[in-house]
Chains A and B, each alone.
Chain A
Amino acid sequence: MLSLRELQLAFCRSVVGPPSNELLSLIDSDVFSADERLSIYRNNVLTRLSETLKEAFPVVRRIVGPGFFDYTAHSFIEEHLPSEPCLSSYGKQFPQFLKSFPAASELSYLPDVAQLEWSISQVVRAAPEDWLPIARLGDLAGDPATARLRVTPCVQYLTSGFRIDQIWMAHQQEGDDLSRWHVDSGEAYLAVHAGESLTLNILPKAAWTFRSHLADGHALGTATAMALVVDPDFDIPAALGSLFAEHLVTAIGDEN
């Protein structure tokens, strides 16, 4: 006889893998076998988790088609059951999974499109924070280079070797076809921002480097240095000015 804990562990394993014989021996069978009864739960779980992924990655689904998406989603679910009670964070690892999913390897831009969709889902749900005026920089007691500027959680920065913003735009409706759109080749340094509406902005590489380092929690001096590596002529005062003017800074703190 399995303890409750053993039964539940066996049940979890049996949903994403072959059914446990010990578990099956505990399930009443009559007109249906124990495995047929267990498979109803297996199907319900897979359907629910697939639906969650489908809602989070509609553009990826349009690109690959519903059948291939379901196959990909099931493969993902087998490796990644949700780690939290709520499904709001389920799918975070899906872009990374796509990178190593052999069946999707021909669509090399697909993981980045998935990452863009994940970022969009996060910024639109994020709680906006009050922004600070640039004058607050004057309140800093210590060296400004060690200051950390908190960037609003309503923006995320991501980069790709493809114009994923255009690919995303080209697949907003069912049946959209890339051939109807002009998709530039080349890299994208992208800011995904949920303000009054959602915007996807391509930034100059140095500005992207500056902002993404700040958003990742690096000190102002580090973000500036990294931007200057990209572009020795990077205009730091102008970059700081536009960061505040766009209401992106929500807190200023010294390093410690």
Chain B
Amino acid sequence: MLTNEAPGMCEPAPGVGLRALHMEELLARRPDVSWLEVHPENYMADHRAFTRLLRVREHYPLSFHGVALSLGSDGELDLGHLGRLGELIDRFEPFSVSEHLSWSGTDGSHLNDLLPLPYTEEALEVVVRHVDQVQSAIRRSILIENPSSYLRFKHSTISEAEFLGAIVHRTGCGILCDVNNVYVSAHNLGADPEAYLKTLPGDAIREFHLAGHSRNEVAGISVLVDDHASCVCGDVWDLYFHALNTIGERPTLIEWDADLPPLDVLIGEATKARHIAQEGRDLRRVVAA
């Protein structure tokens, strides 16, 4: 098995999200991709997928991007799920483990979506307690990803970016900055995406995500839905470029979860991210000179 080293932080090469459809092709071709990200939930109850992932792990560094811990749910974490996650981490040694600033269910009902939190002191206490619990259980720090938002609660007392900063301050976790989510939320909530990035504690950002979204019309007004079913759009590439130049380079991942394209399309998106990072480097060099 390869070591679990993160892609270099100076000139980190992009990775791609690995889905079952691409696994055999990836193993057969072993394309030049720096790292792969998986949802650990897909390997908890499927032995066939688990054994294939072991083969993948022999050739690629992995990151784990969880979608089911439900860090923002009031009440207790599902300890059975946390235990299974810990076992997978021990087995696959991912270089990064991340989850979302969201909740998915409560009282035994799970909606299996990344649902919005009010950014209140009460919610902060819940998330901080759960992040502490997870980090203690898996004996490492995790990254928390900013969600795509379609609504805002009136009784929030601070902004989402400030809320993330408070979690980082109190738990020592890092941030996974999903640039597409920043763009989608800003559009849907009428906010400024660059101001959002500026408010996040940049030093705590340890990874970027990029993905596609869809544009839908509701009563003649557009809503962006974070469906991970298309290429990264031009505006999100621009925002990524801005993030590289204001925050710095970080390991960057191309996500694609629905209507999966051929593997080469995903790799092409990762190559584009690599080129944009190079453009950013060139620009900064010129500016510095």
Query: Among B44, B110, B190, which residue has its beta carbon within 8 angstroms of that of A82?
Result: B110
Interface residues of A (CB under 8 A from B): 1, 3-5, 7-9, 11-12, 15, 26-28, 30-32, 34, 36-38, 40-41, 44-45, 48-49, 51-52, 81-90, 124-128
Taking CB atoms and an 8 Å cut-off, the chain B residues in 151-167 that contact chain A are 151-155
Query: Among B81, B108, B115, which residue has its beta carbon within 8 angstroms of that of A86?
Result: B81
Question: Which residues from A are CB-within-8-Å of B90?
Answer: none
Select the residue from B69, B75, B153 with max chain A CB neighbours within 10 A.
B153
Question: Which residues from A are CB-within-8-Å of B223?
Answer: 32, 40
The docked-state distance in angstroms from the alpha carbon of A11 to that of B118 is 12
The docked-state distance in angstroms from the alpha carbon of A88 to that of B122 is 32
| Residue pair B218, A87 in contact (C-beta under 8 Å) | no
| Residue pair A40, B154 in contact (C-beta under 8 Å) | no
Interface with A: B3-11, B98-106, B199-207, B242-250, which one?
A: B98-106
| Residue pair A88, B44 in contact (C-beta under 8 Å) | yes
Instruction: Report the interface size class on chain B.
Output: 35 or more
| Residue pair A125, B45 in contact (C-beta under 8 Å) | yes
Taking CB atoms and an 8 Å cut-off, the chain B residues in 54-73 that contact chain A are 68-70, 73
| Residue pair A83, B109 in contact (C-beta under 8 Å) | yes
> Closest residue to B220 on the A side, CB-wise?
A31
| Residue pair A28, B154 in contact (C-beta under 8 Å) | yes
Question: Which residues from B are CB-within-8-Å of A5?
Answer: 74-75, 106
> Closest residue to B152 on the A side, CB-wise?
A28
The docked-state distance in angstroms from the alpha carbon of A5 to that of B81 is 21
The docked-state distance in angstroms from the alpha carbon of A36 to that of B218 is 8
> Closest residue to A28 on the B side, CB-wise?
B152
| Residue pair B110, A85 in contact (C-beta under 8 Å) | yes
| Residue pair B46, A88 in contact (C-beta under 8 Å) | yes
Question: Which residues from A are CB-within-8-Å of B258?
Answer: 51
